[in-house]
Amino acid sequence: MNQTDTRKETLEFNKLQKRLRRHVGNAIADYNMIEEGDVVMACISGGKDSFAMLDILLNLQKAAPIKFEVVAVNLDQKQPGFPEHILPDYFETLNIPYYIVDKDTYSVVKEKVPEGKTTCGLCSRLRRGTLYSFAEKIGATKLALGHHMDDIVETMFLNMFHGSRLKAMPPKLRSDDGRNVVIRPLTYCREKDLIKYAEHKEFPIIPCNLCGSQENLQRQSIKAMLIEWDKKTPGRVEAIFKSIQNVSPSQLADRELFDFVNLPLDREGNREEYEFSEAVVSSTNIDESMFIDVTNI
């Protein structure tokens, strides 16, 4: 690689790094994820996303107008062949506080899940329960997970297609018992950016071998669908995500969110201009790209 290419690569990475840090900072501010005095337990799996999250949080910690702690925590699930030295060595180089939690969830998952079935569901529940308990033990006030925008959008479609529910992953969540608060600082970050970031940073990524790198076929199908959409229409994933932030209950059909049953007729207030008139036409913004040529129909 010549000097020009090196300079260009450095420039591109600096832009990427600045963009990711900005996205994380905005997500933290928008959802009040981290507050003065918080102890943030960064849950590190060994994957690209959690490594990137930790790296960006540590950087923001230095520049933030508030003081908060970051503690790295890895759950060692006792998977055969798991390289136990990699994460402790990495945390030592960063000179940050960290814990390795030993919990043999591997044996439980292998015992409970039939051969050939997806282990991700049970594995994540066991992992979440263990991490919740450990957060209380060390006095952590927030649990930071490495889910990004693509994860959130994929989860929404998974629930729509396979669960008949309009549900995704929230940027911030209080556990059902109210004892823990989960935050997702990478909420505004795209996976494709995180892949490039991890490659440049050369994080010591550890693949998940619990299921022999088994893929959740339903999620992989949705991921492929979104990648195809993104190629054809750049920005579509971001648009879908923004729709999750702009919900209109009265325009959906959930009777728990909106009282469709008791909609009173009220003709006492000001009347809207909804008849066909010059005033209505002139004040309406018409998107000409939506016009259809019907001359040859």
Q: Please report the pLDDT score of residue 126 as a whole number.
A: 78
Q: What is the 3-state secondary structure (H, E, C) of 74-117?
A: EEECCCCCCCCCHHHHHHHHHCCCEEEEECCHHHHHHHHCCCCC
DSSP H or E stretch at residue 69: strand 69-76
Q: How many CB atoms lie within 10 A of CB 296?
A: 4
From residue 295, how far is each of 287, 291, 292 by CA, in Å? 19, 12, 9
Q: Please report the pLDDT score of residue 279 as a whole number.
A: 61
Domains assigned to the chain: 13-246 (3.40.50.620)
| Contacts (Cβ under 8 Å, ≥6 apart) of 206 | 45, 46, 47, 82, 83, 86, 87
Q: Please report the pLDDT score of residue 121 as a whole number.
A: 66
Q: Please report the pLDDT score of residue 138 as a whole number.
A: 98
**pTM to 2 decimals?**
0.86
Q: Please report the pLDDT score of residue 213 as a whole number.
A: 42
Q: Please report the pLDDT score of residue 2 as a whole number.
A: 74
Q: What is the mean pLDDT of each run of 10 residues along the chain (297 residues)?
A: 80 97 98 98 96 98 96 87 90 97 76 63 76 96 98 96 95 95 99 97 82 65 96 96 97 96 87 65 60 54
- Rounded CA gap, 57 and 25, in Å? 9
Quick one: what percent of the chain has pLDDT higher than 90?
A: 67
From residue 275, how far is each of 118, 251, 269, 279 by CA, in Å? 56, 21, 17, 9
Q: Please report the pLDDT score of residue 289 as a whole number.
A: 55
